[in-house]
Structures are given as C-alpha cells and as structure tokens.
Amino acid sequence: MKVLKGILAGSLLLLALGFASSAKAGSVTDTTLNVTYTATSTFVAGPGNVYDVFLTVDATGFSAGTGSLNAISMAFKTGSDIASSVTLLAAPGGTSAWNFMAGGIAAGGCNGSGVASGFVCFGTTNLALAPVPAGGTYTFEFAVTMPGTDALTAASDIKASYISATGKNLGLTSMGITIQQPTPEPASLLLLGTGLLAMGGVIRRKLGA
C-alpha cells in the first residue's frame, strides 16, 4: 500500500510540476510593436559543441502598420565568449532567402554592429516571406556552435526590423530575452499522468492478489 501511495503521490507531483512549467512565461513582448518573441533550446550540445535554438516571432498583433519582418538578430554567448558560428536551419520561405551578416540591426535591416557581443543577423529583401500583421507567427531555427567545450547560456538578446512595402521603417525591436528549455504540452502531461495512474492500478491489483 505504501508503494501505491508513493506512485500516486509521484504522479500528482509530476503533473503539478509540468503544468507549472507550462505556465511559465518564456517569452518577451515588444509592447510598442505588440510582437512577442520566444526562444527555446534543450541546451544539449551535439557533435562539435553545436546547440539547436528555436525562435518564434508572433506578429499577429503587430500595431505599427502593414509591412514585413525583414531582419532578425540574436546574440549567442557563454560568459565572455561568443558563438564560433551560427547557421540558419529554418526560416520563413526557406533559409536561402535570408542572408547572413555578423552583427546586429539598425532601422531597416542588418548593419554589422555588435559583433563583439555575439550578435548575428539574417535579413531578406523578399518582403512577401514574413508579412505583418497578416502573416502571423514565424519560426527560425539556428545551429549555434560554441567555442571549445563552452556551454550556451540562456541570457541572450533579440533584435528585429520591420519595414513597409516601400522600405519605410515601421519599427525596431531591441531587448533582452532568456532562452528557455521547451516545456511539455498539457496534452502530453495528461498522457503521462494517465500512464502513471494506470501503472499504480496494476501494482495495487498485484498487492491485493
């Protein structure tokens, strides 16, 4: 019976922790433009000390007019060191449509500033790829190589440029962001809890036999 109670208590604890994690705010919002940014990574290094980082840009509420996201920039660092290289793995319209430049962003697009701070920028001239606000939510994926055995740190920065169809600057995001570990979805947590409770039932029947 004690074993059963332990399993049930553990199940409830896992569910509570999971829902609490899901409720944590891992996003930052530029309230001037009404755009929300979310960055995630498992923080598990692959071969060559490469980290996978995802960035989601939710521009469904973009409030500075009609135009496009034309450049995105993030800083990847560990202590005083910065990333050795950053490769774009996924982007709206495909990676070939976005051009790399070391550095950050100024009004209008990538400008090469902030290289020493670990900023990298990807910009596009195809304004049909990420329209705002009509286009909605956009996802970027980066392969971030850190020097030596250095680990990617969660503290980062996000910059984004938005322009109109005529090239007019509509706004510039520049703010800090924390790269979060992805959290389980409520449906996955419910499935986990159901499985644990079922296992508890099996053990209870065995103990009662």
5 is a domain residue: no
Domain, as residue range, for 66: 25-182
Distance CA 30, CA 67 (A): 17
187 is a domain residue: no
Task: Using the predicted structure, report yes or no on whether residue 91 has a pLDDT greater than 70.
Answer: yes
Q: b/e per residue, 187-209, with b = 16+ CB within 10 A? A: eebeeebeebeeebeeebeeeee
Please state the pTM of the whole predicted model.
0.77
* Residue 35 belongs to domain with CATH number: 2.60.40.1170
13 is a domain residue: no
Question: For the chain, what is the domain count?
Answer: 1
> Could you report the per-residue pLDDT of 30-40, keeping only the tens digit for each?
999 999 999 99
122 is a domain residue: yes
Pairing state between β 119-123 and 131-132: unpaired
> Could you report the per-residue pLDDT of 136-190, keeping only the tens digit for each?
899 999 999 999 999 999 999 999 999 999 999 999 999 999 999 987 655 444 4
